[in-house]
Amino acid sequence: MRIIAHLSDLHFGRVDEALLEPLRLRVRELAPHLVVVSGDLTQRARPSQFLAARRYLDSLPQPQVVVPGNHDVPLYNVFQRFFQPFHKYRRFINEDLEPGFCDEEIAVVGINTSRSFTWKEGSINAGQVAKVRAKLFGGPANVAKIIVTHHPFDVPEGRDENQLVARAEMAMKVFAECGADILLSGHLHTTHTTHSAERYRIPGHSALIVQAGSATSTRTRGESNSFNVLHVTPGDIRIDRYTWEPGKNEFSHAGSEEFSRASEGWHRK
């Protein structure tokens, strides 16, 4: 069994400072095998914000898989936005924009879906999909295959579908060939779990699409700050949601969803 803490949308520069220590304590207490951060580490991609994010990441358990979000690309500095979009991210967070992690139970591939030209919207290209394929295709069946992006492959009903990753259909076909089990993302500042088969009708395949809310941003779209913890075994996945409880000054367990593996994908228990 592997425990993965999935945090997203930290937004240093616009964080609720009161949450930082309680979040750190809760994540450490959960003793995850891996911490995933699915982008938007900063609010405006400023050096001071990246430095604060770097220090915070350093205070969380290792190893980590971190990918950039659109807020980690400069928006108003046009030169940097178009010519050095990830210069500061690389300097402070990770030279590798698409890190991964692999052991005997999980294989995790990070993909950078953030772009300079379409600043808010995300995209995935054929080269990135080929990279996922090279890493995940043909791996052992009992290893859970997990893909991490900032932008989502599904949105809750009623939300703007422009927020979906561009070229998602093309990517999902390859993810299905690879037997992808879980897609982790953020961006919406909304917690949401669904089956990929509800949007992408690919025979014999259904991955779990798991959105984390914002862990520490003051922009929470009416939802409490939250993060997810996944417990992954070859046959079962449990997703625990932890939400900020100001009265208790802690992130508390707020609910769980459980899924089991069937021949055509993951079923809610």
Interface with Fe ion (CB under 5 A)? 9, 40, 69-70, 187
User: At closest approach, how far in Å is the CB of 165 from Fe ion?
Assistant: 12
Q: For Fe ion, which is the closer residue by CB, 9 or 181?
A: 9
Q: Determine contact, residues 215/7, Cβ cutoff 8 Å.
A: yes
- Considering the complex, state which of residue 9 and residue 240 has its C-beta at the smaller distance from Fe ion: 9
Cβ–Cβ contacts within 10 Å for residue 51, how many?
15
Least Cβ distance, residue 124 to Fe ion (angstroms): 15
The residue type at 140? P
Output b/e per residue, 187-217; b: 16+ Cβ within 10 A.
bbbbbbbbbbbebbebeebbbbbbbbbbbbb
Judging by DSSP bridges, how do beta strands 226-232 and 2-7 pair with one another?
Answer: antiparallel
Classify residue 204 by its DSSP letter. T
- Residue 99 C-alpha from the chain's centroid: 12
Between 90 and 120, whose beta carbon lies closer to Fe ion? Answer: 120
- Residue number with CB closer to Fe ion (40 or 181): 40
Angstrom distance (rounded) from CA 159 to CA 62: 34
In the complex with Fe ion, the residue whose CB is nearer, 143 or 209, is 209
Residue 214 CB, shortest distance to Fe ion, in Å, is 6
Q: C-beta of 69: minimal distance to Fe ion in Å?
A: 4
Q: How far is the CB of 40 from Fe ion (least distance, A)?
A: 4
Helices (H), the chain: 20-30, 47-58, 78-83, 87-92, 126-136, 168-178
Q: How many CA atoms lie within 13 A of 263 on its CB side?
A: 2
User: In whole angstroms, how close is the CB of 248 to Fe ion at the nearest point?
Assistant: 25
Q: Give the nearer residue to Fe ion in terms of CB position, either 163 or 252.
A: 163
138 DSSP 8-state letter:
T
